[in-house]
A and B are shown apart, each in its own frame.
Chain A
């Protein structure tokens, strides 16, 4: 590695992260001393995880850091030279299917996962395979939207993955051998795992899929070493009725028939046992407050509210719980009694925001399927403001009917599960969006025991144009700063870097770098299959890499592939 490259990188890290960069420097220095890459693999300490936001060498969290900013502090690759970016290596997995993994990079070793729960450890510099773990899948799996997996969590000497048959597995990071395996919930009842776990203070946190089945959602914490269950937070409380809210978070009337719901409540009782409320994505961790913040998905059945009276707490909500105990702290519900599946999925981001009085406060951002970025106060989960709509909204909230009602956005969003990113220097949040006109159909049926339970149907309108966009939102005002339209609806994720760039991919195989201040396209690469995974970045031997999965997407039927592609500047 050249001295100047080192210098450049470290300056970048220092400039952004101040004293935090010391941690990064130490890690890098140790790695160079260690000589071989995987002979000297270090364990992931809590300290490393805490300092991840300033660590320009590793990528230790699915969303970059506990705040989930997906802002990478290295700036070797930047607005001036990104045009020279080219593939450094391409790794092909055994599985040609939807790719949603976020690569995790620890001291030059990269961990990636694939559909159907394979895990690979790779040399992050060369792409050479170190080990390959293939989960022994049970016969019963449940998933809507593809046999996806969004990656591992790394902690201590282990990496962790949730599986389609609803297990949590702990692997030896050095060898890929199974250390322990826990059944999180019963897959026959509709539970499954696609999210990457989160690791903090000796706990492995994981939510659940299943909102399209009659599940009762949760977030669970397991002991990192033994796999013992430490706590469970049920996303659906036994009293799920709430306050009979008539308006959504933005003040629009939701046309609820509250009298009918009250009558149904008398007759049917509280529907909490089968009310859904999956948690699809990682929580943000507030280490100071010792809290985790996550968003909860739709109520079950998706479209039929008649048999689930009440606000259906805490579906379609931001929720905070105590990190040590899993006890409820606060929540904010975006849509009470949702009958459109316009729920909350994209992982929340912690950052400083300007409140209504102009004071900077500890804030939280969430990108909704409604097409709004919601800006909260972290103290009590309250809403400070919401952004302008990033996609067309029409006829919100028209109620679904038997023959179908058109409403925009369609049920995939807005912002789907795709994580957002922020650049705090610019005060901008970046979201990728879908525009996919649909009709909403309702038809009531009792829970068909462990089978898909939508309470109707969502249908794409084949004659209407679909597209996507990347939108930069000023979270201190809620105004859209820039917006770039894409030919297809966007799904996957986005990452900002200190190089003044944001990276995101498209269903048509294009992976692009944008100027984070203006939205100008500065670079693009054709990956040959849909780039629908969140990008990551890391540095080995003084060279910064951008890495992304190109495996297409099931949900939007984008071309499948099996590539993990790492990009770097020429020597």
Chain B
């Protein structure tokens, strides 16, 4: 189910085109020496997650400026199939722990890109109430910028946010059971509203 969601975004951008996040080939980064050993792998990642930090599809998450330890854990989890994704699993299959750390470090040191997303005020208000009920700030902090093992949510793409919240709810994403229990207590409309609220931050 997860793969279907992601692939839909990959091949046929849907209504999200109203806020396109465009790759800019001219901005292809020159990698510092310390990342030489993972330069091929990183080029692969840029194909989807973007060369300048902005993903080529809104269903692909922003990695640039995300927290190191969160990224590293996700990569480990994809490889061990604790988090399943038909797209991501082959990307990490061959990676060693050290490579994962290096890749995670690279992305964590990049600047978080803006998406320019402007949400619907009524939905945002509904989303804010829902995140309040979920006490999300206890871990994601007041600005929803996360820290260490807790991901930044503020300004993430709306599509990815909704997909992943929904994947938690429907147990397509299994690598944080406490998130599944929490999302299970919300209905689909709440998840839409939360994604709208967070993407707009």
The interface of chain A, by Cβ under 8 A from chain B, is: 97, 139-147, 402-404, 439, 441-443, 445, 448, 451-462, 552, 554-555, 557, 560
Closest 3 CB pairs of A and B: A445-B177, A457-B182, A443-B181
Closest Cβ neighbor of B177 among chain A residues: A445
Instruction: Find out whether the CB atom of B142 lies under 8 angstroms from the CB atom of A141.
Output: no
Contact with A along B96-134 (1 / 0, CB 8 A): 000000000000000000000000000000000100111
Q: How far is the CB of A299 from chain B (nearest CB, A)?
A: 15
* Chain B residues whose C-beta falls within 8 Å of the C-beta of A439 in the assembled complex: 185
**Interface of chain A, helix or strand or loop or mixed?**
loop
* Chain B residues whose C-beta falls within 8 Å of the C-beta of A452 in the assembled complex: 139, 176, 178-179
Instruction: Find out whether the CB atom of A462 lies under 8 angstroms from the CB atom of B141.
Output: no
Please measure, in the bound complex, the distance between the C-alpha atom of A554 and the C-alpha atom of B136, giving whole angstroms: 10
* Chain B residues whose C-beta falls within 8 Å of the C-beta of A459 in the assembled complex: 133-135, 182, 185
* Chain B residues whose C-beta falls within 8 Å of the C-beta of A97 in the assembled complex: 141
Quick one: which of A140, A445, A460 contacts B135, CB cutoff 8 A? A460
* Chain A residues whose C-beta falls within 8 Å of the C-beta of B177 in the assembled complex: 443, 445, 448, 451, 453
Please measure, in the bound complex, the distance between the C-alpha atom of A441 and the C-alpha atom of B148, giving whole angstroms: 27
A-B residue pairs in contact (CB < 8 Å), sample of 29? A97-B141, A139-B68, A140-B148, A141-B148, A142-B149, A146-B141, A402-B184, A441-B185, A443-B184, A445-B177, A445-B180, A448-B177, A451-B175, A451-B176, A451-B178, A452-B139, A452-B179, A453-B178, A454-B178, A455-B178, A456-B178, A457-B134, A457-B184, A459-B134, A462-B132, A462-B133, A554-B138, A554-B141, A557-B137
The answer to whether the Cβ of B147 comes within 8 Å of any Cβ in the partner chain is yes
Instruction: Find out whether the CB atom of A448 lies under 8 angstroms from the CB atom of B176.
Output: yes
Given A448-B177, A460-B132 in contact, is the A139-B137 Cβ separation under 8 Å? no
Contact with A along B156-184 (1 / 0, CB 8 A): 00000000000000000001111111101
Please measure, in the bound complex, the distance between the C-alpha atom of A441 and the C-alpha atom of B183, giving whole angstroms: 11
Instruction: Find out whether the CB atom of B147 lies under 8 angstroms from the CB atom of A141.
Output: yes
Q: How far is the CB of B98 from chain A (nearest CB, A)?
A: 14
* Chain B residues whose C-beta falls within 8 Å of the C-beta of A404 in the assembled complex: 185
* Chain A residues whose C-beta falls within 8 Å of the C-beta of B35 in the assembled complex: none
Instruction: Find out whether the CB atom of A448 lies under 8 angstroms from the CB atom of B133.
Output: no
The answer to whether the Cβ of B69 comes within 8 Å of any Cβ in the partner chain is yes
Instruction: Find out whether the CB atom of B133 lies under 8 angstroms from the CB atom of A460.
Output: yes
* Chain B residues whose C-beta falls within 8 Å of the C-beta of A453 in the assembled complex: 177-178
* Chain A residues whose C-beta falls within 8 Å of the C-beta of B180 in the assembled complex: 443, 445
Quick one: which of B68, B129, B138, B181 contacts A555, CB cutoff 8 A? B138
Q: How far is the CB of A462 from chain B (nearest CB, A)?
A: 5
Please measure, in the bound complex, the distance between the C-alpha atom of A430 and the C-alpha atom of B17, giving whole angstroms: 58
* Chain B residues whose C-beta falls within 8 Å of the C-beta of A462 in the assembled complex: 129, 132-133
Please measure, in the bound complex, the distance between the C-alpha atom of A535 and the C-alpha atom of B185, giving whole angstroms: 38
Instruction: Find out whether the CB atom of A140 lies under 8 angstroms from the CB atom of B138.
Output: no
Instruction: Find out whether the CB atom of B148 lies under 8 angstroms from the CB atom of A554.
Output: no
Q: How far is the CB of A143 from chain B (nearest CB, A)?
A: 8
Quick one: which of B138, B149, B181 contacts A145, CB cutoff 8 A? B138
* Chain B residues whose C-beta falls within 8 Å of the C-beta of A441 in the assembled complex: 181-182, 184-185
* Chain A residues whose C-beta falls within 8 Å of the C-beta of B138 in the assembled complex: 144-146, 554-555
Q: How far is the CB of B132 from chain A (nearest CB, A)?
A: 6
Q: How far is the CB of A402 from chain B (nearest CB, A)?
A: 8
Instruction: Find out whether the CB atom of A454 lies under 8 angstroms from the CB atom of B148.
Output: no
Closest Cβ neighbor of B176 among chain A residues: A451
Closest Cβ neighbor of B82 among chain A residues: A448
Please measure, in the bound complex, the distance between the C-alpha atom of A140 and the C-alpha atom of B105, giving whole angstroms: 12
Please measure, in the bound complex, the distance between the C-alpha atom of A404 and the C-alpha atom of B133, giving whole angstroms: 13
Given A139-B69, A457-B185 in contact, is the A557-B142 Cβ separation under 8 Å? yes
Given A141-B149, A443-B181, A451-B175 in contact, is the A458-B141 Cβ separation under 8 Å? no
Q: What 12 additional pairs, Cβ within 8 angstroms, besides A139-B69, A451-B149? A: A142-B148, A144-B139, A403-B185, A441-B182, A442-B181, A445-B177, A445-B181, A452-B139, A457-B178, A457-B185, A460-B132, A461-B133
* Chain B residues whose C-beta falls within 8 Å of the C-beta of A443 in the assembled complex: 177, 180-181, 184
Q: How far is the CB of B82 from chain A (nearest CB, A)?
A: 8
Closest Cβ neighbor of A410 among chain B residues: B135
Q: How far is the CB of A455 from chain B (nearest CB, A)?
A: 8
Instruction: Find out whether the CB atom of A560 lies under 8 angstroms from the CB atom of B68.
Output: no
Q: How far is the CB of B130 from chain A (nearest CB, A)?
A: 8
* Chain B residues whose C-beta falls within 8 Å of the C-beta of A461 in the assembled complex: 133
* Chain A residues whose C-beta falls within 8 Å of the C-beta of B133 in the assembled complex: 459-462
Please measure, in the bound complex, the distance between the C-alpha atom of A454 and the C-alpha atom of B73, giving whole angstroms: 19
Closest Cβ neighbor of A558 among chain B residues: B142
Q: How far is the CB of B97 from chain A (nearest CB, A)?
A: 12
Please measure, in the bound complex, the distance between the C-alpha atom of A147 and the C-alpha atom of B176, giving whole angstroms: 21
Please measure, in the bound complex, the distance between the C-alpha atom of A147 and the C-alpha atom of B139, giving whole angstroms: 9
Which of B73, B134, B139 has most chain A Cβ within 10 Å?
A: B139
* Chain A residues whose C-beta falls within 8 Å of the C-beta of B149 in the assembled complex: 140-142, 451
Closest Cβ neighbor of A411 among chain B residues: B135
Please measure, in the bound complex, the distance between the C-alpha atom of A442 and the C-alpha atom of B185, giving whole angstroms: 11
Instruction: Find out whether the CB atom of B137 lies under 8 angstroms from the CB atom of A554.
Output: yes
Q: How far is the CB of B56 from chain A (nearest CB, A)?
A: 28
Please measure, in the bound complex, the distance between the C-alpha atom of A313 and the C-alpha atom of B108, giving whole angstroms: 41
Please measure, in the bound complex, the distance between the C-alpha atom of A439 and the C-alpha atom of B179, giving whole angstroms: 16
Please measure, in the bound complex, the distance between the C-alpha atom of A554 and the C-alpha atom of B135, giving whole angstroms: 10
